[in-house]
């Protein structure tokens, strides 16, 4: 398993030295900061519900932007060949890159911890939903990273990888808002597919195994798909 750690380290430091990463972080903080604090003082409530309700939509744009280069860049530069002729397996590569993207999402999320701290100063904050929200955000970030990695494994073009990744993540976010189009018998199934639905459950502070299982299965689906796509290339 040790190649996973080294691939993770390399990918993670590649994020930290690239300017794109800081641009993505800045954009993320500006968007969430603006949409969180604008209505915050009007509503006069000490909660982070606004922040968390928006997070899945923002993540579905930002996370694919983080993951788009993971494999596409290797394909187009050709370093994929050097990587795979080192003694590593497909699983090592997929896991290492996935962990790096998830880790970077966590780094991106870290500055937003200032929001609950600010809110706690201004009023009495219920820390349960905040904790749940951050656990949910990490799970969501991991699941979307896996989807983004899958998108990146399909093409050598980073833009295409970004659009495909965003498309899938965005659909997962919106699917439970489209339920009124569907016959009653399918409601439960499509509601279960919605990432936003599961995320909002966790963000209420309720840690249900069904919701956690959902994110794990989406993550597994993405990673397994990326693995298959890589095997298909050789």
Partner 1 sequence: MIHVENLTRYYDDFCAVNGIHLDIQKGEILGLLGPNGAGKTTTLRMLTGYLQPTAGQIRVQDLAIGPDTLEIKKRIGYLPESAPLYHDMIVYDYLNYVADIRELKNAQKLSRIHELAQLCGLSSVMHKTIGELSKGFKQRVGLAHALMNDPEILVLDEPTSGLDPNQIVEIREIIRKIGREKTIILSTHILSEAEATCDRIAIIHQGKIVADGSTLSIKQAAGRERSIYITLEGADFDAVRPQLETLAGAVGIEKLAPSGAGLLDIKISVSSDADIRRDIYRIIRQADWQLLEFRQESQTLEHIFRELTLEN
Cβ neighbours of 152 (radius 10 Å): 30
- Cα–Cα distance for residue pair 209/181, rounded to 1 Å: 28
Shortest distance, CB of residue 4 to partner 1, whole angstroms? 10
Residues with Cβ within 8 Å of residue 35, at least 6 apart in sequence:
50, 51, 54
34 HSE (CA, 13 A, CB side): 6
Nearer to partner 1, 121 or 234 (CB): 234
Q: Does 87 bind partner 1 (CB under 8 A)?
A: yes
DSSP state of 111: G
119 with 51: CB under 8 angstroms?
no
Q: Binders of partner 1: how many residues, by CB under 8 A?
A: 23
> Can you state the angle between helices 209-232 and 127-153, rounded to 10 degrees?
20
Task: Find the binder of partner 1 among 22, 23, 81, 177 (CB under 8 A).
Answer: 81
Shortest distance, CB of residue 98 to partner 1, whole angstroms? 17
Task: Find the binder of partner 1 among 26, 38, 43, 86 (CB under 8 A).
Answer: 86
140 with 55: CB under 8 angstroms?
yes
Q: Does 3 bind partner 1 (CB under 8 A)?
A: yes
- DSSP string covering 37-86: HHHHHHHT----HHHHHHHHHHHHHHHHHHHTHHHHHHHHHSHHHHHHTS
Shortest distance, CB of residue 20 to partner 1, whole angstroms? 10
Shortest distance, CB of residue 233 to partner 1, whole angstroms? 9
Q: Does 103 bind partner 1 (CB under 8 A)?
A: no
Task: Find the binder of partner 1 among 1, 42, 117, 234 (CB under 8 A).
Answer: 234
Residue window 135-164: x/- pattern of binding to partner 1, with contact defined by CB under 8 A: ------------------------------
Considering only residues 14 through 53, tell me which ones interact with partner 1, judged by CB under 8 A. Answer: 14, 17-18
Shortest distance, CB of residue 219 to partner 1, whole angstroms? 24
User: Which residues bind to partner 1, rule: CB under 8 A?
Assistant: 2-3, 6-7, 9-10, 13-14, 17-18, 77-82, 84-89, 234
């Amino acid at each position: 398993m040790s190649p996973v750690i080294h691939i993770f380290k390399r990918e993670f430091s590649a994020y930290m030295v690239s300017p794109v990463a800081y641009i993505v972080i800045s954009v993320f903080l500006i968007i969430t900061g603006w949409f969180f604090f604008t209505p915050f003082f009007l509503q006069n409530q000490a909660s982070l519900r606004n922040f968390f309700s928006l997070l899945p939509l923002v993540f579905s744009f930002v996370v694919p932007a983080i993951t788009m280069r993971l494999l596409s860049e290797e394909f187009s530069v050709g370093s994929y060949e050097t990587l795979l002729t080192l003694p590593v397996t497909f699983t090592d590569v997929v896991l290492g890159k996935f962990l790096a993207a998830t880790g970077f999402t966590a780094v991106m999320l870290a500055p937003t911890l200032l929001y609950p701290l600010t809110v706690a100063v201004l009023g009495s904050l219920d820390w349960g939903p905040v904790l749940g929200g951050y656990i949910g955000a990490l799970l969501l970030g991991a699941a979307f990273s896996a989807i983004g990695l899958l998108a990146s494994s399909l093409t050598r073009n980073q833009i295409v990888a970004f659009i495909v990744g965003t498309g899938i993540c965005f659909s997962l976010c919106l699917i439970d808002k489209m339920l009124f189009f569907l016959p009653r018998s399918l409601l439960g199934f499509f509601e279960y597919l919605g990432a936003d639905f599961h995320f909002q459950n966790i963000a209420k502070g309720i840690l249900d195994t069904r919701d956690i299982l959902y994110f794990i299965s989406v993550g597994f689906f993405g990673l397994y798909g990326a693995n298959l796509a890589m095997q298909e290339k050789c």
